[in-house]
Amino acid sequence: MNKRWNIRPEGSNWGDFGADDRYGRMNLITPERRLRALQEVQFGQIFCLSLPLDRPGGQVLNAHRCPPAFKKVERDGVNMFNLALEKFDQRLTDVSSDEAVLLYSQYSTQWDSFAHKGSLFDVDGTGTPKKVFYNGWEIVDESGSGTHGELGAHHVSIANMATTGVQGRGVLIDLQHHFGNTRTHVNLNMLQEVITKDQIQIEEGDIICLHTGLGDLIMQSPITGPDASIKTACAVLDGHDKSLLQWITDTGIAAIASDNLAIEASSTLGLPKDFGHHGPILPLHEHCLFKLGIHLGELWYLTDLAKWLRDQKRSRFLLTAPPLRLPGAAGSPVTPIATV
């Protein structure tokens, strides 16, 4: 038994991949499953599934996250951008540029690590809940400095996901085709109807990609940011549907990505009016990141891929989507590539 916990959350898979597991359902993307994913490539055509990292633009979708901010890098007090090196030596013909960028790791197209969402849970059975994350890991100051450990989460950081390569079979579910751009809370029955109508097959180890159309609305909006109405546009999964959460458990999917803000209804809208229980504001996040070790991808761009797959009467493709190997990070920008 994992020594970090005596009681694991109901419905979790803690310990199933080992007492010290940090990879969750990424463990299911085996070499054999990668080989099967490669068989989905028939044309060698690729689709970039990332928004430009300065999108969605502004702070309409999340007031706490900002677009990239470029900072200058200096050499001997001189700005190292568009710099003719003859300034330092007349014999040199090079023109050099360098830069620093302040990135909010979850502003644009991203993966959530298991450090993004934990829960207060009584892992010791003492009656006192602790702040814990997937597989019972706690975020502690391992450096002893009192600084980085408070901001980082090495045991469950996004760097673990990066080392898996994140290459496997993607399966696209086109919610936008069936529900349009109207805000729709998709429960399990509605999701299964779409899967049946589109003859989609989902197997253990697949990465589900949900096309809602929000990424396309973002790309059609001004770079300064979309209209506030976008916050309640397009489909989201109904994270409060327990049967949907059980379906996620039963299918054995390795990860979920979407072109919307949070896959489920975003917490940036605040507590729903009917929120009367004691529990998470983002139940799908808790179920996936905390209980099952399923990474969540958000704000991807899936529209061009969705159109191509529908024209070809396909839903499967090879997905390559490693995040930045950034130890201690709770999330990471990503440039996913679909190969068909």
297 shares a domain with 240 = yes
Distance CA 186, CA 104 (A): 29
* Domain presence at residue 113: yes
89 shares a domain with 37 = no
53 shares a domain with 189 = yes
Average pLDDT of the chain, as a whole number: 94
Percent of the chain with pLDDT over 70: 93
Which pair of tokens denotes residue 200?
């989609």
Which of the four pLDDT bands, split at 50, 70 and 90, describes residue 1? very low
* Domain presence at residue 165: yes
Which of the four pLDDT bands, split at 50, 70 and 90, describes residue 266? confident
* Domain presence at residue 259: yes
State phi, psi for 9 to the nearest 5 degrees. Answer: -60, 145
Which of the four pLDDT bands, split at 50, 70 and 90, describes residue 2? very low
Which of the four pLDDT bands, split at 50, 70 and 90, describes residue 327? very high
* Domain presence at residue 126: no
* Domain presence at residue 123: no
239 shares a domain with 323 = yes
What is the count of structural domains for the chain? Answer: 2
- Nearest Cα residue to 134 out of 17, 274, 270: 17
**What pLDDT is attached to residue 163?**
98
**What pLDDT is attached to residue 146?**
44
208 shares a domain with 77 = no
312 shares a domain with 261 = yes
Residue 271 reports pLDDT greater than 70:
no
Residue 143 reports pLDDT greater than 80:
no
- Domain of residue 77: give its range: 69-102
pLDDT in tens, 274-291: 666 778 999 999 999 999
89 shares a domain with 52 = no
**What pLDDT is attached to residue 278?**
79
* Domain presence at residue 137: no
The CATH number of whichever domain residue 330 belongs to comes to 3.50.30.50
Distance CA 178, CA 129 (A): 42
**What pLDDT is attached to residue 268?**
74
Longest CA pairwise span in the chain (Å): 73
* Domain presence at residue 17: no
Is the overall model pTM greater than 0.85, yes or no? Answer: yes
188 shares a domain with 83 = no
**What pLDDT is attached to residue 251?**
98
234 shares a domain with 90 = no
Residue 144 reports pLDDT greater than 70:
no
95 shares a domain with 38 = no
160 shares a domain with 73 = no
* Domain presence at residue 158: yes
Per-residue pLDDT averaged across 95-115, rounded? Answer: 97
**What pLDDT is attached to residue 152?**
67
- Host H or E run for residue 44: none
308 compared with 273, residue with greater pLDDT: 308
State phi, psi for 337 to the nearest 5 degrees. Answer: -125, 125
Percent of the chain with pLDDT over 90: 89
pLDDT in tens, 183-215: 999 999 999 999 999 999 999 999 999 999 999
Angle, CA of 203, 207 and 210, to the nearest 5°: 110
**What pLDDT is attached to residue 275?**
64
Per-residue pLDDT averaged across 106-116, rounded? Answer: 97
52 shares a domain with 171 = yes
